[in-house]
Amino acid sequence: MIERAWRLAPLILLVALAVAWQLPQAAWLSLAAPDPAVAGRMTATLDALGEEPRVLVGFDPDLGTYAETRPTVRALLAELLARDARLGFVSLTAEGRALASAELARFERAEADPSRLLDLGFIPGAEAGLVDLTRGIRVAGGEAGAFASEVIAGGIGAFNAVLVIGGNDLGPRSWIEQVAPRIGEVPFVAVTPTVLLPEVQPYVESGALRAVLGTPRDGAAYRESLDLDSLDRIAEPMEPRPFPILIGMLIAVAVLGQALGARALDGLRAARAREAA
């Protein structure tokens, strides 16, 4: 009976998620971290960049974890454009390049100012590619304008800050190890999936990374703190809904709890059987 119900579980899950998706927002559910200190650190770092900063965006999320970071990434990029920043996108992984390409196409559809965006393409070689980036940046022939000229002339030195969108294959650690020692005092900030946080946290504590949005809760707190005005169209059209997330987590808790309970009962029965023998 239980096994039959388990076979139907994916269908039940889909129906439950579809119903939860339609439920209105509830005050007792919140995705945002109660303590906005992490989000505040990101805002303070961006405040210190000055007017019209040039930001190098190392865009290397992976398909598996991008769903977790995507709302925060889009909000942060929209916030940078709202601050009149100019963004140069470079990727060092194939998945990162694919996602960067999709995001750049999305910028185009959202009618973002093209003079503030620069596609620096894909550099193979991961860490070797990062080292190469510090020696000079090649701008594709199709890219023109003042921003492209500044980057061609100044290389990585033309940028006032580095934003790393990390993933499983390449994250802030590689940037801090390979790029930071070669370019001097340029602030690094990052958005990463939670799985990278343990390896990234020491860099935040040491100051090598000025700010990191590394959990969904910190990302949600940061998004709540933003006022993007007209550039709201560049951010995610809809915030992640907490009800489907809650339903999924409760199902996970129920399934894991049932399995653990069954395992504990088995252990107890086995212990009693040994005592009886």
Partner 1 sequence: MRRPTLTALVVIVGLLLIADLLVVNSALGQLAGIVVDAAILVAAGAALAGVGALGARRIADLWRRRGDPVAATFVLVGIGVMLVAGLRPGSSGTGDPAVQWLIAALLVPIGASLFGLLFVTTLGAARRSLAMRSREATLLVAAAFVTTILLVPLSGEVGAWLSGVAGWSLAVPIGAVFRGLLIGIGLLTAVYAARTLLGMGAADD
- Minimum Å gap between C-beta 140 and partner 1 is 8
* Residue 28 lies near partner 1 (rule: CB under 8 A): yes
* Residue 272 lies near partner 1 (rule: CB under 8 A): no
- Minimum Å gap between C-beta 93 and partner 1 is 10
* Residue 129 lies near partner 1 (rule: CB under 8 A): yes
- The residue among 53 and 117 lying less far from partner 1, judged by its C-beta, is 117
Quote the CA–CA distance of 136 and 153 in Å, as a whole number: 9
Chain positions 32 to 51 lying near partner 1, rule: CB under 8 A, are 33-35
Which long-range CB contacts under 8 A does 143-147 form with residues at least 24 apart?
A: 143/118, 143/119, 145/115, 146/115, 147/54, 147/86, 147/88, 147/115, 147/116, 147/118
* Residue 184 lies near partner 1 (rule: CB under 8 A): no
Residue of the chain from 36, 121, 145, 155 that contacts partner 1 (CB under 8 A):
121
Residue of the chain from 40, 145, 157, 248 that contacts partner 1 (CB under 8 A):
248
Of 216, 211, 206, which is closest to residue 248 (Cα–Cα)? 216
- The residue among 7 and 51 lying less far from partner 1, judged by its C-beta, is 7
Residue of the chain from 64, 114, 154, 237 that contacts partner 1 (CB under 8 A):
64
Of 169, 158, 97, 85, which is closest to residue 126 (Cα–Cα)? 169
Quote the CA–CA distance of 232 and 81 in Å, as a whole number: 11
Region label for 145, one of left (φ > 0), alpha (ψ between -120 and 50) or beta (otherwise): left
Is residue 100 within 8 A of residue 91, CB to CB? The reply is yes
Query: Is residue 145 within a helix (H) or strand (E), and if so which, with residue range?
Result: none
Binding footprint of partner 1, residue count (CB under 8 A): 66
Residue of the chain from 18, 44, 48, 255 that contacts partner 1 (CB under 8 A):
255
- The residue among 56 and 133 lying less far from partner 1, judged by its C-beta, is 133
- Minimum Å gap between C-beta 86 and partner 1 is 18
Helix (H, G, I), strand (E, B) or coil at 88: strand
Of 117, 122, 106, which is closest to residue 54 (Cα–Cα)? 117
Outline where DSSP puts E strands in 98-169: 117-122, 161-165
* Residue 263 lies near partner 1 (rule: CB under 8 A): yes
Residue of the chain from 43, 101, 160, 225 that contacts partner 1 (CB under 8 A):
101
Chain positions 187 to 206 lying near partner 1, rule: CB under 8 A, are 194, 197-199, 201-202
Q: What is the dihedral of CA 247, 253, 258, 259, to 10 degrees?
A: 120
* Residue 20 lies near partner 1 (rule: CB under 8 A): no
Is residue 59 within 8 A of residue 100, CB to CB? The reply is yes
* Residue 98 lies near partner 1 (rule: CB under 8 A): yes
Look up residue 157 and give its two tokens. Answer: 């030195």
Residues in the site for partner 1, rule: CB under 8 A? 6, 9-10, 13, 27-31, 33-35, 63-67, 94, 97-99, 101-102, 104-106, 119, 121-126, 128-129, 131-132, 135, 142, 181-182, 194, 197-199, 201-202, 215, 217, 242, 245-246, 248-253, 255-257, 259-260, 262-263, 266
